[in-house]
Structure 1
Amino acid sequence: MHRGDLLNKRCQPCTGGTPPLSAETSRGLLEMLPGWALRNERLEKLFAFKNHYEVMAFVNAIAWVSHRENHHPELTVGYKDCRVSYSTHAINGLSENDFICAAKLERLREI
């Protein structure tokens, strides 16, 4: 699997019976996402920008991806940066949805 595979997928609803991804699977998916890290069962990255305007434009793009995928990260917005943190609350851990959305944010950053 490569990042293009994640970009072509859509998030699927997780139910309480869906198990979180294993550590091994999460590490394998993480290899496709440069700069992202696994911390406390969350997928995280700090995005840095030239100014606050660029940060806010990126935050709005994140909102668009989140709405389209119906999967929402936690954001910490600063003057020149934004920390994005994904976890799937319904299953208390990471799901493929977290990695799908992270891949889509990476694609946005490349544009």
Structure 2
Amino acid sequence: MDEKSSCEGACSRDTPRLSESSIEEGLRQRPLWRRTADGRAISRAFTSKNWSAAMEFLNAVSVVAEREGHHPDVAIKNYRDVEVVIATHAIGGLSRFDFILAAKIDAECAATYSPKWARENGLA
């Protein structure tokens, strides 16, 4: 489940759900991502430097998602707090395609973090 794989055919009722062990392994490979409280999705959240940096990141995510045909839920709150949530909607849970998309976002979408947030989260 890396950025070289494809999300083609991602959102189908026939898409197999990942096992718990596969989800745990996927999260080990994607340290910026967390499982949502309900366990049905993964999310990445951070505070960007400013509104423009948040929009640049989400615009880059949009390009990747459209190319892959697998679309996350995205949000900006408080003008620079960014959240991306990925799930395979057709199965109401996680599939390998969710981790493929997360890997592609990590590889292709540069985030400009708030310096304070980056320090507090060990990314500075």
State TM-score, norm by structure 2: 0.79
- Please say which of residues 7-16 and 90-99 is displaced more in the overlay: 7-16
Query: Which residue of structure 2 lines up, in the alignment, with residue 42 of structure 1?
Result: 41
Matched to 2:17, the amino acid is P
Instruction: Report which of the two structures shows the higher radius of gyration computed on alpha carbons.
Output: 2
Query: Which residue of structure 1 lines up, in the alignment, with residue 80 of structure 2?
Result: 80
Query: Which residue of structure 2 lines up, in the alignment, with residue 32 of structure 1?
Result: 29
Please report how far the alpha carbon of residue 18 of structure 1 lies from its aligned counterpart in structure 2 after TM superposition. Answer: 2.7
Tell whether 2:100 aligns with 1:100: yes
Q: Post-superposition, which runs of at least 4 consecutive aligned residues in structure 1 deviate over 6 A?
A: none
Matched to 1:30, the amino acid is L
Matched to 2:94, the amino acid is L
Query: Which residue of structure 1 lines up, in the alignment, with residue 19 of structure 2?
Result: 22
Total equivalences in the alignment: 107
State TM-score, norm by structure 1: 0.87
Matched to 1:104, the amino acid is K
Percent sequence identity over aligned pairs: 35
Call closer, same or farther: CA 1:21–1:33 in 2, change over 3 Å: same
How many Å separate the matches in 2 of 1:43 and 1:109? 19
Matched to 1:56, the amino acid is M
Out of 3, 6, 21, the residue aligned to residue 2 of structure 2 is 6
RMSD of equivalent CA atoms: 1.7
**Partner secondary structure for residue 15 of structure 2:** coil
How many Å separate the matches in 2 of 1:49 and 1:77? 10
- Please say which of residues 58-67 and 12-21 is displaced more in the overlay: 12-21
